[in-house]
Amino acid sequence: MRVIKGIIKTENPDEHWGFLNPKDKVVLDLGCGINNDQYLPTPMWFIMERKASKVIGVDGNPQSYEWFKTNYNVKNFISFMDLVDRYEKFEFYFDYFKPQVVKMDVEGSEILMNAFQNHLFDNVEEIGIEYHSFPCLISIEGKLKENGFKMDYYKFEHLDLEHQGVLYGTRKH
């Protein structure tokens, strides 16, 4: 049974991703694009507000990539313009950067986690995944359980939890 831990009403990172604890950790932010001028983009929020040691931001939108290059050039932020739409891309980012915290909002590509080799999770302590369908939810739940994660669920205000939501996984090393 999935118990709802909270309701998400906005794109404000405090509400949408506030359960993640990136302080002094490496964060892989998949789908880090800028949405609007109302809220800080998540890489900035992770570094400025939540004190992450490093953020690797990946987004396929050229405008987001250019915005970060122009407006947010700091040493502990690495930006990539890339659609994370193949298993090999996930594997590269997880394997190369060895994140401790992962935030994933990749518009359906999260289902590719089902193909992950378990060693890709070796360093991951926390993971937040915005899923976009029931098959994605089932797939990522299975993979996270297989790797020893405990899960909590966050629902969007006007959507059914099985249609779209955010899954938060934690585990102790």
Q: What is the pLDDT at residue 173?
A: 61
Question: How many domains in the chain?
Answer: 1
Q: What is the pLDDT at residue 121?
A: 96
Structure confidence by residue, pLDDT tens digits, 17-74: 999 999 999 999 999 988 767 888 999 999 999 999 999 999 999 999 998 989 888 8
- Tell me the DSSP string of the chain: -PPEEEEE-SS-HHHHSTT---BTSEEEEET-----SSS--HHHIIIIIT-BSEEEEEES-HHHHHHHHHH---TTEEEEE----SHHHHHHHHHHH--SEEEE--TTGGGGGGG--GGGGTT-SEEEEEE-SHHHHHHHHHHHHHTT-EEEEEEETTS-TTTSEEEEEE---
How far apart are the C-alpha atoms of 112 and 2, rounded to whole Å? 22
Q: What is the pLDDT at residue 162?
A: 81
How far apart are the C-alpha atoms of 80 and 122, rounded to whole Å? 23
Q: What is the pLDDT at residue 36?
A: 65
Average pLDDT over residues 130-153: 94
Which CATH number covers residue 148? 3.40.50.150
Burial class (CB in 10 A: 0-12, 13-18, 19+), 21: middle
Burial class (CB in 10 A: 0-12, 13-18, 19+), 4: exposed
Q: pTM (2 decimals)?
A: 0.94
pLDDT confidence tier of residue 169, bands split at 50, 70 and 90: very high
pLDDT confidence tier of residue 160, bands split at 50, 70 and 90: confident
- Per the structure, the complete domain to which residue 126 belongs is given by 4-170
Q: What tokens does 61 get?
A: 């939108």
Q: Which residue has the tokens 């994370």?
A: 84
